């Protein structure tokens, strides 16, 4: 005696029949004509916009969830901005406050595979080690090193100030040089 496989409310005792019924149901749900139209529109968009594959850099705040106790802000990179994705970490776990195109330095780093991390997450209040001002100061310092203009940096800071409904104090970073003591 075999176990029945239910496909679309009907029981099948033969695996091949169940697979065929499932495949037929899946085929009936597909809209191949619309898929071809979407593909043609996408190809036309790529022809008319030469910068269609430039990644985006997004700044966001972790959404509140019963399982996530962390409060963090993050800078994350969208390596595939042209794809249609239903549920991604960008929209599911973070509230995107500001979105900008990557600079030429960042694009070159992406192509050379120097960026290995997709997210740069700054914890806000984990063990009280980093305040929100300090985290935002680090983000601003990183962006200035990448050559982001001051107008965009002020827009980023304003987006965080609007979200948190308070003013931020941006600290000047203190850079240190690592000395190689064992160099000959």
Task: For residue 173, tell me if it sits in a domain.
Answer: no
- Tens digit of pLDDT for each residue in 115-135? 655 566 666 554 456 778 888
Under the banding of pLDDT at 50, 70 and 90, the label for residue 144 is confident
Check whether residue 112 and residue 80 sit in a common domain: yes
Please state the domain count of the chain. 2
Check whether residue 62 and residue 152 sit in a common domain: yes
Check whether residue 102 and residue 18 sit in a common domain: no
pLDDT of residue 162: 93
Task: For residue 8, tell me if it sits in a domain.
Answer: no
Check whether residue 37 and residue 94 sit in a common domain: no
Check whether residue 77 and residue 159 sit in a common domain: yes
Check whether residue 115 and residue 95 sit in a common domain: yes
Check whether residue 119 and residue 89 sit in a common domain: yes
Length of the chain: 184
Check whether residue 38 and residue 62 sit in a common domain: no
Check whether residue 126 and residue 64 sit in a common domain: yes
pLDDT of residue 83: 61
Check whether residue 27 and residue 113 sit in a common domain: no
Q: Which residue range forms the structural domain that includes residue 38? A: 13-48
Nearest residue to 110 (alpha-carbon basis) of 49, 54, 148, 149: 54
Q: What's the mean per-residue pLDDT of the chain?
A: 77
Task: For residue 65, tell me if it sits in a domain.
Answer: yes
Task: For residue 97, tell me if it sits in a domain.
Answer: yes
Whether 59 and 97 have beta carbons less than 8 Å apart is answered as yes
pLDDT of residue 161: 92
Task: For residue 131, tell me if it sits in a domain.
Answer: yes
Task: For residue 183, tell me if it sits in a domain.
Answer: no
pLDDT of residue 87: 47
Task: For residue 175, tell me if it sits in a domain.
Answer: no
Check whether residue 36 and residue 81 sit in a common domain: no
Please determine, for residue 90, whether its predicted confidence score (pLDDT) is greater than 50.
Answer: yes
Task: For residue 5, tell me if it sits in a domain.
Answer: no
Percentage of the chain modeled with pLDDT above 90 = 12
pLDDT of residue 25: 85
Check whether residue 43 and residue 105 sit in a common domain: no
Highest-confidence segment of 24-38, 47-61, 78-92, 94-108: 24-38
């Amino acid at each position: 005696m075999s176990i029945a496989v239910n496909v679309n409310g009907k029981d099948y005792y033969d695996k091949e029949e169940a697979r065929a019924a499932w495949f037929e149901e899946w085929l009936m749900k597909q809209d191949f004509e619309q898929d071809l139209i979407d593909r043609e529109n996408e190809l036309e968009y790529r022809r008319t916009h030469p910068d269609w594959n430039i990644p985006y850099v997004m700044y966001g705040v972790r959404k509140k969830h019963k399982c996530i106790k962390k409060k963090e802000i993050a800078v994350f990179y969208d390596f595939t901005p042209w794809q249609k994705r239903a549920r991604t970490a960008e929209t599911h776990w973070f509230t995107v406050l500001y979105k900008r195109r990557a600079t030429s330095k960042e694009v070159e780093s992406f192509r050379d595979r120097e960026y290995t991390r997709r997210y740069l997450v700054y914890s806000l209040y984990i063990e009280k080690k980093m305040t929100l001002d300090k985290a935002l100061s680090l983000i601003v310092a990183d962006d200035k090193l990448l050559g982001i203009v001051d107008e965009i940096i002020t827009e980023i800071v304003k987006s965080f100030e609007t979200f948190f409904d308070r003013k931020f104090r941006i600290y000047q970073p203190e850079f240190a040089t690592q000395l190689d003591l064992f160099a000959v």
